[in-house]
Amino acid sequence: MQTHLKSWFQTLSAPWASHDDSFKTAILDAGVETLFNLDVLRQSYDSKSENLLVKALEKMSFTDADLVLQNLPNILAQYISANRKHRGALFSQGSQTQPGASLEELRETGMHFFTLIMGLVNDSKQDCRAWQTRALLLRIVEQENMFISKQLDSQMMFNQILELILVTLSDGWKGESNAFLGILCV
């Protein structure tokens, strides 16, 4: 999986791919359908086991960290989109469920995946790419309206991000690191 994922990322990130939108869209759609089709989503939702995609991304980040960081926002956006598309088949829709329950499950699933991939953006990594990735991931959570304040994992993740931002700002103002420049590059 890791080899195919790396090739897919490299193709999506290639300079020539940005000039041909139809080609890039076809490559993106093929990868998304492979990674996030209904059967794969149902299996990961039903099993609640470790996410194989995140494990592959974690392994790839040892050798190709920038490539992984560059593509994480797109992965999150496509994951949320696929879950939204298949929401009726994935989440409770029975007569026993409360109105809006599937939307809440969609948000919980989205935030769980966000938490997993934020783990790939190492807290000690303070370069421009890491800060850009964090900002783009947070922007997707906001745009997709995924944040659930009553979900403990979500609160803890946002608190960690806030702490990291405060430490980075403090270090930057003290002149102890180039961390402050990482924030400015976003």
pLDDT tens figures, 94-151: 545 565 678 888 988 888 899 889 889 875 567 788 888 988 998 999 899 888 767 6
The tokens of 135 are what? Answer: 């900002």
Could you tell me the pLDDT band of residue 35, with boundaries at 50, 70 and 90?
Answer: very high
The domain locations on the chain are 2-184
Helix H, strand E, coil C: the string for the chain is: CHHHHHHHHHHHHCHHHHHCHHHHHHHHHHHHHHHCCHHHHHHHHHHCCCCHHHHHHHHHHCCCHHHHHHHHHHHHHHHHHHHHHCHHHHCCCCCCCCCCHHHHHHHHHHHHHHHHHHCCCCCCCCCHHHHHHHHHHHHHHHHCCCCCCCCHHHHHHHHHHHHHHHHHHHHHHHCCCCHHHHHHCC
pTM above 0.85, yes or no: no
How far apart, in whole angstroms, are the C-alpha atoms of residue 65 and residue 151? 29
